A and B are shown apart, each in its own frame.
Chain A
Amino acid sequence: MTDITTLPASAATPATRSKTFNYQRWLNRSLHYLVLSALAVITVYPFWWTLVTAVSTAGKVYAFPPALLPTEPGLQNFLEVFQTINVWAFYKNSILISGATVVGTLIICSLAAYPIARMRFAGRNFVFGAIVATMILPSEVNFLINFITVSKLGLTDTISGVVLPNLAGAVGIFLMKQAFEAVPQDLIDAAKVDGANEWEVFWKIMLPLAKPALGALAILTLVSAWNQYIWPSIVMTSVENFPLSVGVSYLKGAFSFKTRLVAAGAVLTVLPILIMFLFTQRYFLRGFEGAVK
């Protein structure tokens, strides 16, 4: 009779293997977290340093090793920023420029991506290839030709001048194209049988289904439009038209440089967009899921 209480020798092997496997997994995971933590520190530290510098009212700014916590914290620097520059006017300009850029980008990129994704026409692949090819060039390359165009159109020192050249971006078109391609053909066919024309298919079916991608593109565009510095400082000539990103440079006097003041200005610039991103990052990631499938 076989003794069922005694396990055969081979039965012990999986348990041993499983212990070894768990150890390896633990080691792998620890390494992962170590690398990710290092990357997080490298990414977050500059922001943290700026914040510490802005809220500290005493101590050495450029001490080494740098201070990790603020010394005699207070809002003094922020109050000084509000006294030195017209922060509210700059905020208003930033909101107008970013808002117009976001709305314009969503419209232009969706309209450009839809035919590339869903319509058959001669040269479709060439057009898309040409659009993607523009991603290779740094945006600074376009500054000269864009400035000439904006000048000829009489749009210098206007919000339109800052916004217009940034509306049709290859990244946005690519993102929306991927989103439209992910919509099943049957839905488009069903809409056509239901009586929808091409515009109604786009407006009533495709756009609502591409909401996650639209959300991601909106966030991406907002961050980039809010933070842009060089182009608005080229186009805008009147201080009252400056967005916040350009306006904070006025905190740097001609003969003096108050690092804490500039840091406070930088915090005021980044804070709204950072808060918004924290709340919307879920949509941002969802929107990119389709693009990288």
Chain B
Amino acid sequence: MAELKLKQLQKTYEDGPTVIHGINLDIRDGEFMVFVGPSGCGKTTTLRMIAGLEDISGGELIIGKQVVNDVPAAKRGVAMVFQSYALYPHMTVRENMGFGLRLAKQPKADVEAAVHRAADILQITHLLDRKPKALSGGQRQRVAIGRAIVRKPDVFLFDEPLSNLDASLRIQMRIELAKLHKELATTMVYVTHDQVEAMTLGDRIAVFNGGRIEQVGTPLALYEKPANLFVAGFLGSPRMNFLPSKVAGHGLQLADKAELDIQLPLPDGTPVTIGVRPEHIGLGYEGLAAVVDIVEHLGDTQIAYVRVKDIKDPLAVKLASNHTPPANGSTVRIAITPETCHVFGEDGKVMMPVRREETVLA
């Protein structure tokens, strides 16, 4: 087990762009840290730098108490599970799992014992003599995890390990990974672009964007208190609704001259963005007029997409499954309470309002 410190970590490709712009992050011993972000945001590159598969252009990477910038991958005490599983096709499951230990010249009996122990944990003992091509996707993923477990690393690295599995298997493996973390209590760094995986697995989440970390925190903290527009929009499904508005008198003026009682110490006319989660918008007889675009029925819930005058994107409204769905094209009224609103300034960062009163949008 070990803690990880990323200090001003930077990656610049030869004659190419800088893709990681000096990130700082402390990952605690035994913590399950999830890197999440859109494609090309630098999360996998950071993971590969931790693994020793990418050179570090600047800053320091510390595993345990040792700076490992120039330490080869094999000597960093890390094990990695790849998106493609990366099982050696010419070796059996047993040989795949024991490969690292055999390279380390461990006695045969020890290798065999370690392989069996890991296979027991993952319930793949009956597959030990098969080749990877004779395994299903889920079994291959278990073997890949098994290969990592066998080496008893200080840090586990997972690079989108579930993205090649079908939906039901992904949920099953997600639960198993969470159990595994509890059982092994080892530091784990997990890269995903799937926010559900991030929210359910991570002790903490680091949200990446454009080679920078936008925010680090517990899943709930990020969901409830996003630091900026990017994090607010990235976490949550459907994503947070953004309503452009401006400071006017004692509140904020929205589209269609509606007002919201949120006071900000800013001059009148200053543009701000109001963020509201779909579950925080009410559908009723009072409030802002909106036209229903479409209603999605998801079984346990319904999502109504409504259009409001002067707001470009439709707003998502989450409704209970027993709510009578509004007809497509009908006019409804939506209500927003100031306490559930997030206000973002022109720079996209969250602003703390001076006073919020329980006022319904009128």
Contact of A208 among B82, B90, B104 (CB under 8 A): B90
Bound complex: CA A193 to CA B54 (Å):
12
In the complex the two chains form, is B82's CB within 8 Å of A194's CB? no
Bound complex: CA A209 to CA B79 (Å):
23
Bound complex: CA A193 to CA B147 (Å):
11
Bound complex: CA A211 to CA B83 (Å):
25
Residues of B within 8 A of A186 (CB): 82-84, 86
B74: Cβ under 8 A from any A Cβ: yes
Known: A186-B82, A200-B103. Contact between A193 and B73, CB under 8 A? yes
In the complex the two chains form, is A193's CB within 8 Å of B88's CB? no
Bound complex: CA A87 to CA B96 (Å):
49
Bound complex: CA A250 to CA B51 (Å):
66
- Shortest distance in angstroms between A108's beta carbon and chain B's nearest beta carbon? 23
In the complex the two chains form, is A193's CB within 8 Å of B52's CB? yes
In the complex the two chains form, is A189's CB within 8 Å of B53's CB? yes
Known: A187-B86, A205-B88. Contact between A195 and B80, CB under 8 A? no
In the complex the two chains form, is B103's CB within 8 Å of A194's CB? yes
Contact of A189 among B80, B89, B104 (CB under 8 A): B80
B353: Cβ under 8 A from any A Cβ: no
Contact of B99 among A189, A194, A211 (CB under 8 A): A194
Known: A189-B53, A194-B151. Contact between A184 and B103, CB under 8 A? no
In the complex the two chains form, is A190's CB within 8 Å of B90's CB? no
Residues of B within 8 A of A205 (CB): 88
B100: Cβ under 8 A from any A Cβ: yes
A192: Cβ under 8 A from any B Cβ: yes
- A171-210 near B? 1/0 per residue, CB < 8 Å: 0000000000000101101111111110010001100110
Q: List 14 A-B contacts (CB under 8 A).
A: A186-B86, A189-B73, A190-B86, A191-B88, A192-B73, A193-B52, A193-B53, A193-B73, A194-B74, A194-B79, A194-B99, A195-B103, A196-B74, A208-B90
Q: Return the 8 tightest CB-CB contacts between A and B, nearest first.
A: A195-B74, A190-B86, A194-B100, A186-B86, A195-B103, A208-B90, A192-B73, A186-B82
Beyond A186-B82, A194-B74, A208-B90, 19 extra complex contacts between A and B, CB < 8 Å: A184-B84, A186-B86, A187-B88, A189-B53, A190-B82, A191-B99, A192-B72, A193-B51, A193-B53, A193-B79, A193-B80, A194-B79, A194-B103, A194-B147, A195-B103, A197-B74, A200-B103, A205-B88, A209-B90
